[in-house]
Amino acid sequence: MKTKTLSELKNEFLEYLEIERNRAPKTLVNYDRYLDRFIRWLNEFIKKEESDIGDLTDDCIRKYRIFLNRVAKEGEVGLKKITQDYHIIALRGFLKYVAKKGLPVPTPEKIELGKTERKEIEFLEREEIERLLASPKGTNLDSLRDRAILEILFSSGLRVSELASLNRENFSLTNNEFTVKGKGGKRRVVFLSEAAQKALYMYLKKRTDTDEALFVRHHKTKDDSTLRLSVRTVQRIVKKHSSRAGITKDIHPHTLRHSFATDLLRNGADIRSVQALLGHSSISTTQVYTHITDKHLKEIHEEFHRKKKGEK
* Residues labelled as active-site residues: 159, 183, 254, 257, 280, 289
- CA 41 – CA 237 distance, rounded (Å): 46
- CA 228 – CA 216 distance, rounded (Å): 4
Letter string b/e over residues 215-238, b meaning 16 or more CB atoms within 10 A of that residue's CB: bbbeeeeeeeeebbbeeebbbebb
Q: Which of 211, 218, 214 is nearest to 141 (CA)?
A: 218
- CA 140 – CA 145 distance, rounded (Å): 9
What's the Cα-to-Cα distance from 58 to each of 13, 48, 100, 138, 203, rounded to whole Å? 20, 18, 18, 64, 59
What's the Cα-to-Cα distance from 208 to each of 211, 216, 218, rounded to whole Å? 9, 12, 10
Number of Cβ atoms within 10 Å of the Cβ of 93? 22
Per-residue DSSP letter, 74: T
- CA 256 – CA 276 distance, rounded (Å): 17
* Residue spans of alpha helices (H) in the chain: 6-19, 25-46, 58-70, 81-100, 126-133, 141-156, 160-164, 194-206, 231-244, 253-266, 271-278, 294-304
